[in-house]
Amino acid sequence: MKISCFSLWNIQSMEKKLLKLKEINSFLKKINVKPTIFIFPILFGLLAALFEGGSFGLLIPTIKGIIEGNARFVHDMPYVSTIFSYIAPEYKSRSIKIFIILVLMTFSCVVLKNIFQYLSMISTSFQVWRFSNILRKKIFERYLDFGKLYFDQNNIGRLQEILTGYTRQVALQLKDANNCIYSILVLVIYIIIMFKISWKLTIFIFIFSPLFALMMKKIIDKIKKSSDDYIVNYSSLLKNLSNSLLCLPLIKAYTYEGDEKKRFFKESNLVEENEFAIDRQRELITPLNEIFVMVLILFLLGMVTYFIYIQKEGEVAGYLVYFVILRRSIGSFSAISRFQAIINAISGPVGEISTIFDNADKFFMHEGENEFTGLKRKIEIKGLGFSYPGKSSGLKNINLTLKKGEITAIVGPSGSGKSTLLNILMRFYEPSSGSIEIDGEDIKNFTLKSYLSKFAYVSQDVFLFNDTFKNNLIYGLENISDDEIAKTIKKANLEDLICKLPHGINTDVGDRGVKLSGGEKQKLSIARAILKNADILVLDEATSSLDSLSEKQIQKAIHEVSHNKTSVIIAHRLSTIKHADKIVVLTEEGIVEEGTLEELLSKKGMLYKLWEEQKFF
């Protein structure tokens, strides 16, 4: 048996649509949202569609009665006659009253249709924005669960757009989709009435309609391509925007503003072209649909003329209502095409959001169930190895013991993996091989919350919120008294700075602490670690942004706060690690030296070479 090209295309098209709907359903399952949340909008839409059909159904006897000047025929209408038997038993003999009742019933149907349509619209609006809110919160939760390595490899601008922009796009598309569903429900009611009036005309429409569907396919495919191109170009635009704003001093230093403008303008133009292409293609659907319907009406007028005057079939009243319904159904007919276009347009944002809910390459940190109560004896690093994705270099077979109460300094050339080692100790990265044990137990067995609660961390990149000085100081800490804050400010030598700030400790520090100098930000970060008073201090180039005087002051504060505590320090300035109990020299080949400052200097090895290079400090 041969299958026609149209039938084959139709089957393939249906399969693609079903696949897209399955993808959306799968996406909803990933975020634990049931499609049934849209049941009330659809139910209200169905009731509105039924009353819409009822209003048109009542128009036929009303118009027929006006044309014939007699309304006695209503007793032959199955449902209408039943209604009249209750509200107007004498309707057979009083035509005027029948007309009044028909008009009131039609008006009531119109009112009820609009009430339920309004309920459908507001319930849709409530559900889609609620869905958008749920989606935003779930994405944010996912972000917080991802490992640090994920954010090292992904552009923050793109992640922000997924969280805020794409969730809004999906919500708006779902709102349009629900409106399309309502239009399709109305169309079903229209078709039932049209079949009732003339099944021959309706069959002709169904035969003629596939030609229009073929014409729409190309437009819908273009919308899908434009949507996919938009996602790619918009992500690229956000990436370069983020790079430009973060590296603005570098751009100005090299007077590269002109080239940055050209690149941004070029990508912005591509985004504009994609946005306009999507709108242009979507807006083409309605006029093409209207032209199609008008051509169809002209054909149908010829057929109706033939039916009435040649075959003496049908009534003028019925055909008048038929054409009114057909004319009103223009939007409903286009709803099918618009629904397909929405499914295609939504696929891009849904695809991007879906990647957030996939577990591939998210670098989740393994978390145990045991509570970490604190370091009692030592931290043992056994055969530790780590390499970044796509890179062969990294940490290799690191074996190291950190004793309780000791200060261990890690030094070495740039790129040797010093910060990476601390990131693994802080549970930001999972090691590729080996393990870290505390008092004989793998740190993976502890809950992250209990484990990290015993650490105070100061990184070379100071992390500050766009908030007050005080809120940045006490971030993550609870039940901190003003007396504790005052003592910490004094220890960190921040008193002069606080006095200079316009609102004292309640002054906003700006985005990423832009209102503070590099040294002031570093002091604040160190003060935060001091205030936490944790058992284990981890300092990654903690004094790198300080001048000599401030460095001495902070070193004194660190020395005080590290008393009877375990400290791990990465230092570029070797003069800051004179008081370390143990110094570890790390290179790309692993640990090459280990011992006290005097021991390592006497060996005249790697540390001695680094020390000699920094003598002028």
Please tell me the predicted confidence (pLDDT) of residue 224: 74
Residue 9 placed within a domain: no
Please tell me the predicted confidence (pLDDT) of residue 81: 58
Low-confidence winner among 17-26, 44-53, 210-219, 307-316 (lowest mean pLDDT): 17-26
Q: What digits encode the pLDDT tens for the residues 114-165?
A: 999 899 889 888 888 888 898 899 999 999 889 888 888 888 878 888 898 8
Q: Which of 360, 411, 367 is nearest to 389 (CA)?
A: 360
Residues facing residue 128 across a β-bridge? none
Same domain, 377 and 311: no
Residue 387: pLDDT band with limits 50, 70, 90: confident
Q: Are 607 and 601 in contact (CB under 8 A)?
A: yes
Question: CATH number for the domain including 393?
Answer: 3.40.50.300
Residue at a domain's end among 323, 357, 391: 357
Mean pLDDT score of the chain: 80
Same domain, 158 and 261: yes
Same domain, 309 and 162: yes
Q: Are 588 and 417 in contact (CB under 8 A)?
A: yes
pTM, rounded to two decimals: 0.71
Q: Are 357 and 317 in contact (CB under 8 A)?
A: no
Same domain, 404 and 519: no
**Res 568 pLDDT > 70:** yes
**Res 1 pLDDT > 50:** no
**Res 527 pLDDT > 90:** no
**Res 292 pLDDT > 80:** no
Residue at a domain's end among 304, 333, 357: 357
Tokens representing 345? Answer: 């347009």
Q: What digits encode the pLDDT tens for the residues 396-414?
A: 889 999 999 899 999 988 8
**Res 7 pLDDT > 50:** no
Please tell me the predicted confidence (pLDDT) of residue 425: 93
Residue 74: pLDDT band with limits 50, 70, 90: low
Question: CATH number for the domain including 317?
Answer: 1.20.1560.10
Same domain, 441 and 472: no
Domain that includes residue 526, residue range: 464-535+546-567
Please tell me the predicted confidence (pLDDT) of residue 544: 59
Low-confidence winner among 321-330, 552-561, 608-617 (lowest mean pLDDT): 552-561
Residue 18: pLDDT band with limits 50, 70, 90: low
Distances (CA, A) of 94 to 74, 99, 265: 12, 9, 75
Q: Which of 152, 584, 577 is nearest to 395 (CA)?
A: 584
Q: Which of 469, 478, 577 is nearest to 524 (CA)?
A: 469
Pick 55 or 95 by higher pLDDT: 55
**How far is residue 178's CA from residue 169's CA, in Å, rounded to a whole number?**
14
| Domains in the chain, number | 3
